[in-house]
């Protein structure tokens, strides 16, 4: 059994000294009368989630330090993006305010969420924690609740500290606070609605932003899963002075994170999960399938894109049910030869060309080592023969191209990339914009392909884009004639150049 924590005696604390000592020394600076925020969080979790074991993870410490930095006056404007089901509301809207009242019971808080029901639920959790036997036994003499103001949406302590909760559109006329917390101001299920977004952002600007009793020293704290390229986070980051904490479920690149107080360093390698004990890679892949790649990129990866995208906009792609009369086919391969989860994929795209434009007939994608990759390329060729097989002439593809040319009859064309990736995509994007590139209506890979293209170049893996731009540019801009010259019965399944 853990030893009960002793109650706090109010003392004067030098916040500069607190900052110098660091997050782990906060308890010592308070003469060991209150726990540090991490210790408090661990104990409070058992009260609020008695049936759910707390899965410890570094990101909990990371966010808690940022919240502690707000208490110390180091940060006054903070926006935090965390995937759903990673305890974001428990961290920011429930446990932290209860801890903060132990040292500063006079603080007045305003909390807001997209609906009054969600805001009320979080308020009930806060009040339940503050009124729990554990909390009252340790700090009841400091944070005693006021009898005349103790309802689920608004309660007050005897030091006149107050916590008010409301949904978007709710009124706090005549009331303000030292801290304003907004937790998911936009309903994720309605984020595509421009009306819903504008209503939430107007409420933020015209109501919440005006509720700080002391605009110079008060703190605004937001926490949300990203929902749209024009969501709350995008809106407030247009203004300077905000500290932004963004934690994708899967690291899209190698990232070094420095904790704001302790200066602890965490390095997230590309592909690293935020909390593998909480949500596995298999579960994330399942979520991606059910949510769709665009919603997954926003809510889980904190990387929303505009509806249209950038160089390859979503609305530009055309779709087909049945291929027309095709006069030429070719494969384009972007290769990588490692099979680890953090490594790139190998991608092959089968293009079919005709008078109407270019049709992507097939796309295959896998992480494979050299022998398996070579076998797959040959098997795909035998099942879907074409006029030529393009392989990027780089380290991973050079030896593969030589091997296939030497030991098979497949007409391999090594392609040397020109310029950087963005340049190569910009060369072929006009063909997509003009409506001359078609995708199959029922292709299981189409949604992910379009999302990667729309998100490019800000995307974790761009292998599908690389294979696409290589195939398009070689055919249309550089060497269309050499591909066409290879269009004989030998390479088109015995049906000549019109094989369809």
The CA-atom distances, in angstroms, between 58 and each of 73, 183, 259, 371 are 23, 22, 10, 38
User: Given this model, what pLDDT does residue 306 score?
Assistant: 59
Asked if residue 263 and residue 346 are part of one domain, the reply reads no
Q: What is the spatial distance between Cα 339 and Cα 368, in angstroms, rounded to a whole number?
A: 5
Cα–Cα distance between 327 and 355 in angstroms, integer?
8
Structure tokens, 271: 């592909």
Report the C-alpha gap between 292 and 65 in whole angstroms: 33
Q: Decide: 73 and 15 in contact? Cβ < 8 Å.
A: yes
Handedness of CA 330, 334, 337, 339 (dihedral sign): negative
What integer pLDDT is reported at residue 490 of this predicted model?
Answer: 39
Q: Does 8 reside within a domain?
A: no
Q: Which of 380, 396, 393 is nearest to 338 (CA)?
A: 396
- 51 with 137, same domain: the answer is yes
Q: What is the pLDDT of residue 23?
A: 38
Same domain, 251 and 362: no
305 in a structural domain: no
Number of neighbouring beta carbons within 10 Å of residue 458: 12
CATH number (domain holding residue 399): 3.30.420.280
Contact of 168 with 207, CB cutoff 8 Å: no
β partners of residue 165: 111
Same domain, 225 and 330: no
Residues 274, 363 within the same domain:
no
H helix and E strand count, the chain: 18, 17
In terms of Cα–Cα distance, which of 285, 249, 233 is closest to 57?
249
Question: Are 281 and 326 within one domain?
Answer: no
Same domain, 257 and 347: no
Predicted pLDDT at 478 = 62
Domain check: are 128 and 179 in the same one?
yes
* 345 and 473 assigned to the same domain: yes
pLDDT score for 50: 92
With 0-12 / 13-18 / 19 or more C-beta atoms within 10 angstroms meaning exposed / middle / buried, residue 265 is exposed
Q: How many CB atoms lie within 10 A of CB 346?
A: 27
Looking at residue 153, its pLDDT comes to 86
Whether 283 and 321 map to the same domain: the answer is: no
Domain assignment present for residue 376? The answer is yes
In a domain, 10, yes or no: no
Q: Is residue 163 part of a domain?
A: yes
350 φ, ψ to 5°?
A: -100, 115
| In a domain? residue 7 | no
Residues 6+ apart with CB under 8 A from 434: none
pLDDT at 16: 38
Instruction: Tell how strand 412-415 and strand 437-440 pair up.
Output: unpaired
Q: Contact 184/168 with Cβ under 8 angstroms?
A: no
Measured CA to CA, the distance from residue 321 to residue 499 in angstroms comes to: 18
Domain boundary among 230, 257, 291: 291
What is the C-alpha separation between 359 and 352, in angstroms, rounded? 5
Q: Are 256 and 272 in contact (CB under 8 A)?
A: no
| CB under 8 A, 24+ apart: contacts of 445-448 | 445/363, 445/365, 447/292, 447/293, 448/293
Coil/strand/helix, residue 382: helix
pLDDT reported for residue 30? 37
Domain at 167, CATH number: 3.40.50.300
Is the peptide bond preceding residue 81 cis, with omega within 30 degrees of 0?
Answer: no
Given 291, 306, 326, the domain boundary residue is: 291
Beta carbons of 460 and 253 less than 8 angstroms apart? yes
Domain holding 253, by residue range, is: 15-291
Q: Are residues 338 and 277 part of one domain?
A: no
Residue 302 falls within a domain, yes or no? no
CB-CB neighbours of 373 under 10 Å: 23
Cα–Cα distance between 463 and 104 in angstroms, integer?
A: 53
Name the strand (E) or helix (H) holding 135: helix 133-139
Which residues lie across from 257 on neighbouring strands?
266
Which one of 291, 324, 344 terminates a domain?
A: 291
Segments in the chain below pLDDT 50 = 1-32, 341-342, 479-481, 485-500
- Candidates 111, 259, 122; CA nearest to 185 is 111
- Number of separate domains in the chain: 2
Q: Is 335 found in the same domain as 234? A: no
Return d(Cα 458, Cα 331) in angstroms, integer. Answer: 26
Separation in Å, CA 219 to CA 22, 106, 182, 213, 325: 20, 15, 11, 10, 65
* Full-model pTM: 0.63
Asked if the structure places residue 361 within a domain, the reply is yes
């Amino acid at each position: 059994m853990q030893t009960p924590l002793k109650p706090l005696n109010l003392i004067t604390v030098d916040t500069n000294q607190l900052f110098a000592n660091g997050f782990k020394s906060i308890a010592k600076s308070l003469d060991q009368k209150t726990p540090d925020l991490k210790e408090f969080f661990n104990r409070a979790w058992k009260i609020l989630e008695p049936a759910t074991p707390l899965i410890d993870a570094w990101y909990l410490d990371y966010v808690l330090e940022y919240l502690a930095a707000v208490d110390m006056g180091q940060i006054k404007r903070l926006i935090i993006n965390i995937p759903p089901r990673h305890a974001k509301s428990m961290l920011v809207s429930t446990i932290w305010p209860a801890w903060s009242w132990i040292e500063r019971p006079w603080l007045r808080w305003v909390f807001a969420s997209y609906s009054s029901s969600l805001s009320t639920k979080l308020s009930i959790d806060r009040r339940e924690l503050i009124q729990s036997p554990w909390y009252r036994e340790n700090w009841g003499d400091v944070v005693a609740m006021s009898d005349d103001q103790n309802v689920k949406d608004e309660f007050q302590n005897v030091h006149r500290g107050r916590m008010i909760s409301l949904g978007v559109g709710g009124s706090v006329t005549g009331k303000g606070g030292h801290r304003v917390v907004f937790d998911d101001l936009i309903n994720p299920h309605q984020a595509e609605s421009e009306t819903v977004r504008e209503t939430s952002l107007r409420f933020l600007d015209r109501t919440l932003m005006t509720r700080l009793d002391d605009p110079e020293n008060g703190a605004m704290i937001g926490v949300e899963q990203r929902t749209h390229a024009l969501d709350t986070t995008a809106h407030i980051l247009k203004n300077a002075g905000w500290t932004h904490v963004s934690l994708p479920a899967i690291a899209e690149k190698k990232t070094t994170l420095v904790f704001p107080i302790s200066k602890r360093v965490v390095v997230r390698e590309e592909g690293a999960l935020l909390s593998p004990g909480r949500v596995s890679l298999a579960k994330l892949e399942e979520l991606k399938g059910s949510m769709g790649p665009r919603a997954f990129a926003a809510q889980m990866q904190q990387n929303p894109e505009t509806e249209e995208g950038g160089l390859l906009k979503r609305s530009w792609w055309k779709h087909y049910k049945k291929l027309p009369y095709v006069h030429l086919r070719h494969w384009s391969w972007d290769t990588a030869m490692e099979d680890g989860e953090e490594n790139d994929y190998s991608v092959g795209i089968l293009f079919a060309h005709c008078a109407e434009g270019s049709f992507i007939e097939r796309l295959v994608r896998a992480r494979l080592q050299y022998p398996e990759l070579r076998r797959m390329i040959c098997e795909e060729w035998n099942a879907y023969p074409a006029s030529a097989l393009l392989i990027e002439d780089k380290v991973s593809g050079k030896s593969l191209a030589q091997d296939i040319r030497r030991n098979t009859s497949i007409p391999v064309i090594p392609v040397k990339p020109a310029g950087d990736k963005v340049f190569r995509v910009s060369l072929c994007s006009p063909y997509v914009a003009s409506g001359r590139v078609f995708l199959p209506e029922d292709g299981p890979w189409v949604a992910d392909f379009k999302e990667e293209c729309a998100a490019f170049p800000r995307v974790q893996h761009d292998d599908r884009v690389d294979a696409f731009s290589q195939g398009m540019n070689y055919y249309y801009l550089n060497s269309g004639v050499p591909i066409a010259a290879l269009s004989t019965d030998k390479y088109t399944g015995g049906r000549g150049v019109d094989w369809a």
